[in-house]
Amino acid sequence: MIYSPTTMLHGSVEMPMHGLGVFQTADGEEVRNAVKWAIEDGYRLVDTATIYRNETGVGRAIADSGVHREEIFVTTKLWNSDQGYEATLRALEASLERLGMDYVDLYLVHWPVDEMTADTWRAMEHIRSQGVARAIGVSNFGPHHLDKLMAGANVAPSVNQVELHPNLQQRDIRRANEAVGCHTQAWSPLKQGQVLTDTTIRDIAGDHGVTPAQVVIRWQLQMGVSTIPKSVNPDRIHENADVFGFSLSTDDMTAMEALDDGDRIGPDPDNRDF
Ligand SMILES: NC(=O)c1ccc[n+]([C@@H]2O[C@H](COP(=O)([O-])OP(=O)(O)OC[C@H]3O[C@@H](n4cnc5c(N)ncnc54)[C@H](OP(=O)(O)O)[C@@H]3O)[C@@H](O)[C@H]2O)c1
């Protein structure tokens, strides 16, 4: 068992710094196995979303795990077409039904939809006040989206989950998040595997006797960014969690910082077609 350290989100909600992502993981056996193996390995955070269409399998695997619901941090996300006050409340209810749970630990607005932000966030604040989500947050919000949200907000987002890996280090977003007490979480932390052949990362991995994926995950954690690598393979699920027995030096961290070339694997929140 390898347990992740935690961070304290505002509102005194404790969140593991490391968890399992389940994007592009089929509902049914595939997601149930991934979550099962992860929990057996000590993972205590699972990141799903309505649009991943696997909340049912995630909920089922957690229920079958033998670990108490309260010990597992469950994140799900509000899809774009469900934004707006009433629709947001209904969407979370439907997610809870699929998950077979009566609360989630973190509910995220999946993408900014500017004209809906104020109404959606009002619903998110209501959800938090009712305890149906212990913490609320956003995803894919740039500094200007955050400014707009904060202009009408009573409660700042606890988390902003954004694409973040060695090629896209999101310094401006990290600064903007920090300014409002919002924690930064990395999605596609491995750039879906594309950074794992980078020679700098491979050299650092060689120096420490670890794998390139472990270097990237360790780098995110040492920056104070939580991370949710996805895998459906039991060996890689284990490998991705086994990152607490070594640390990167200042020189390693500096070398990693130099890999930022702004290249994305996912959609640009300011220029997307969905
Ligand atoms: N908020 C958002 O808009 C958003 C967008 C995208 C993703 N996310 C979240 O972030 C999570 C992670 O992002 P992601 O799934 O896009 O990509 P990722 O975690 O960066 O990479 C996953 C890919 O890398 C492979 N992989 C995993 N561990 C590996 C290892 N140790 N060595 C070699 N290959 C490895 C996986 O293959 P195998 O499965 O075969 O091991 C998979 O193809 C998602 O699952 C989701 O929960 C959020």
* Known catalytic residue at 52: yes
The residue whose C-alpha atom lies closest to atom 10 belonging to ligand 1 is 187
The residue whose C-alpha atom lies closest to atom 13 belonging to ligand 1 is 188
Both tokens of 15, joined, read 């969140």
CA of 228 to the centre of ligand 1 (A): 8
Of 3, 43, 52, 103, the catalytic one is 52
Q: What is the pLDDT of residue 1?
A: 85
CB-ligand 1 contact for 266 (6 Å cutoff): yes
Question: How do residues 78-123 score in pLDDT, each as one tens digit?
Answer: 999 999 999 999 999 999 999 999 999 999 999 999 999 999 999 9
End-to-end CA distance of the chain: 40
Low-confidence ranges of the chain (pLDDT < 50): none
Q: How far apart are CA 259 and CA 190, in angstroms?
A: 13
Ligand 1 closest atom vs CA 229: 19
Contact 74, 32 (CB under 8 A): no
Q: How far apart are CA 218 and CA 186, in angstroms?
A: 12
How do the domains of the chain map onto residue ranges? 6-191+225-231
CB-ligand 1 contact for 247 (6 Å cutoff): no
* Sign of the CA dihedral with 197 first, then 212, 26, and 47 last: negative
The residue whose C-alpha atom lies closest to atom 14 belonging to ligand 1 is 188
Contact 88, 124 (CB under 8 A): yes
CB-ligand 1 contact for 137 (6 Å cutoff): no
3-state secondary structure of 106: strand
CB-ligand 1 contact for 81 (6 Å cutoff): no
Which of 68, 155, 71 has its CA nearest to residue 105? Answer: 71
Contacts of 51 (CB under 8 A, 6+ apart): 77, 79, 110
Give, for ligand 1, the residue of 106, 187, 201, 242 to mutate: max count of ligand atoms closer than 8 Å to Cβ.
187
The residue whose C-alpha atom lies closest to atom 16 belonging to ligand 1 is 188
3-state secondary structure of 229: coil
Q: What is the pLDDT of residue 192?
A: 98
Contacts of 145 (CB under 8 A, 6+ apart): 112, 114, 117, 138, 269
Question: How do residues 50-66 score in pLDDT, each as one tens digit?
Answer: 999 999 999 999 999 99
CB-ligand 1 contact for 240 (6 Å cutoff): yes
DSSP 143-211: HHHHHHHHHT-SS--SEEEEE-BTTB--HHHHHHHHHTT-EEEEESTTGGGGGGG-HHHHHHHHHHTS-
CA of 180 to the centre of ligand 1 (A): 28
Class of 6-191+225-231 in CATH: alpha beta
The residue whose C-alpha atom lies closest to atom 39 belonging to ligand 1 is 231
pTM beyond cutoff 0.75: yes
C-alpha to C-alpha distances, 157 to 9, 10, 124, 180, 228, nearest whole angstrom: 10, 9, 9, 8, 18
Which of 20, 15, 42 has its CA nearest to residue 231? Answer: 20
